[in-house]
Copies of this chain bind each other. A is one copy, B any other.
Amino acid sequence: MENKILLTEQEIPRFYYNIMADMPNKPLPPLHPGTKQPITPDLLEPLFPRDLILQEVSTERYIEIPREVREIYAKYRPSPLFRARGLEKMLDTPARIYYKYEGVSPAGSHKPNTAIAQAFYSYVSGAKRIVTETGAGQWGTALAYACQKFGLECEVYMVRVSYDQKPYRKIMMNTFDASVYPSPSDRTEFGRRVLAENPDSSGSLGIAISEAIERALQDPQAHYALGSVLNHVLLHQTIIGQEAIIQMEKAGDQPDIVVAPFGGGSNFAGIAFPFLHKNFSEKQNIRCIAVEPTSCPKLTRGEFRYDFGDTAGMTPLLPMYTLGHDFMPPSIHAGGLRYHGAGVLVSQLLKDGLIDAVAKDQASCFKAGLDFIKAEGIIPAPEATHAIATVIDEAMKCKEEGTEKTILFNLCGHGYFDMASYESYLSGELKDATISNEEISQSIASTNELQPQ
């Protein structure tokens, strides 16, 4: 009757799992926004270290994790796998529920898994600093931590709504020596343009990405880093699911359903891709569900098409489910899920019917989060409550149907910096943000001209 399944540092995986090797349909290539031809890797060299560019296009199934990266992982990994006995009891469900808890990392989320790898490759390539954006602050904190480990400077553009909602996240980045600026800022041409149009702009991840890329392009000693969406970022997160596979085996169980919140894809990919590998290689039938907020519904209401990764249109065109690159998501509390598009790998898998997606509204997510706090004694990040709400739905379905499914989800981070959002829910002040079909159509229309033949 163990509550947690722990692994030793020797059991930290030695390779990342690259799902590209196993996908029945490989993703379409990224396109140059001018020529609309597939981009060549050298175009990305001003922004990323060569190792990451190679990972971005690699079709090797396993990519070795550098020793230096594994040594830093060992400070907090392997992360624990918990059996959610308290939640099972509260729901009185025949389902067995497990969660992989990534909140034990220095940033309090799964984000350091890729931040450490990215900082390492920038460091060995001779860069002096990394510029990035952050939504809820999880990614910025992770990169600040990772940069400090390798003696790199770190400059973070933080979406203004989160910068204002979560001052403690900013201070946390400062304790790791990072410089943090609210975005839109007056430090970039694009930021100044946005502010000129709307001085009260609450910002978006798309805007912050444009600012960070602009800064990185101006500085030959700087790299840019992204916390989700890109193939190499999703790759690094597969360490989560690989550990979970070992842990589920130790528990003598196997998931029927794997659930994760969905922002750009790294959280979901991290836990789900290694289980999808089982579907591909062992003909298993594990159902993987990505959960997005109803207020930023690219997977369930967006369209699959080429679009920019940022708002200013500085990135290559990526083939993905999108709401349009100038979609401005409402200021919901799960800041990490406020992104207009879905990573290319996840988009292709969804298009091919190999994974599922659902959308949950904010209020039911916070309700699920509070149930989880009472049942399990851990405060989940608002992002993570999206997974929990869906897990509860599935567990209640098991109860109705009398089926004993095993459900695994990624508890991607703790909510210690998100107590204000819990208070706004508890006090009844939280208003949910919904999006009309018209709004979505208009926003997607902005990408039309970009579609290739």
Contacts and interface: CB of A to CB of B under 8 A. Distances in A.
Interface of A: 2-4, 6, 8-9, 74-76, 86, 104, 106, 108, 145, 148, 167-168, 171-172, 174-177, 370, 373-374, 376-379, 414, 416-417, 419-420, 422-423, 426
Nearest to A10: B2
14 contacts: A2-B74, A4-B9, A106-B378, A145-B377, A167-B423, A171-B420, A171-B423, A174-B426, A175-B370, A175-B373, A175-B426, A176-B373, A414-B416, A416-B416
Given A4-B9, A177-B374, 13 more contacts: A3-B75, A6-B6, A75-B86, A108-B416, A168-B420, A171-B419, A172-B379, A172-B419, A174-B426, A175-B426, A176-B373, A176-B374, A416-B416
A11 B424 CA distance: 41
5 cross-chain pairs, A with B, having the tightest CB-CB distances, nearest first:
A106-B377, A168-B419, A416-B416, A171-B419, A171-B423
Contacts of A3: 9, 74-75
Contacts of A9: 2-4
Contact of A76 (B370, B377, B417): B377
A148 B376 CA distance: 11
Nearest to A108: B416
Given A168-B416, A168-B419, A175 B376 contact: no
A145 to B, nearest CB: 6
Given A2-B9, A3-B75, A6-B6, A422 B171 contact: yes
Contacts of A422: 171, 175
A377 B75 contact: yes
A74 B6 CA distance: 13
Contacts of A373: 175-176
Nearest to A72: B377
Given A2-B8, A4-B9, A9-B2, A374 B148 contact: yes
Contacts of A86: 75
Nearest to A169: B419
Contacts of A8: 2, 6
A28 B417 CA distance: 45
A343 B363 CA distance: 46
Contacts of A172: 379, 419
A48 B270 CA distance: 49
A145 B414 CA distance: 16
Nearest to A107: B377
Contacts of A6: 6, 8
Contacts of A2: 8-9, 74
A420 to B, nearest CB: 7
A175 B76 contact: no
A346 B108 CA distance: 35
Contacts of A106: 377-378
A34 B400 CA distance: 64
A93 to B, nearest CB: 19
A384 to B, nearest CB: 15
Contacts of A377: 75-76, 106, 145
A9 B82 CA distance: 12
A397 to B, nearest CB: 26
A177 B374 CA distance: 9
Contacts of A417: 416, 419
A426 B176 contact: no
Contacts of A145: 377
Which of A3, A9, A176, A377 counts the most chain B CB atoms within 10 A? A377
A75 B376 CA distance: 8
Contacts of A416: 108, 168, 414, 416-417
A420 B177 CA distance: 16
A372 to B, nearest CB: 10
A75 B83 CA distance: 9
A223 to B, nearest CB: 21
A182 to B, nearest CB: 16
Contacts of A168: 416, 419-420
Contacts of A376: 75
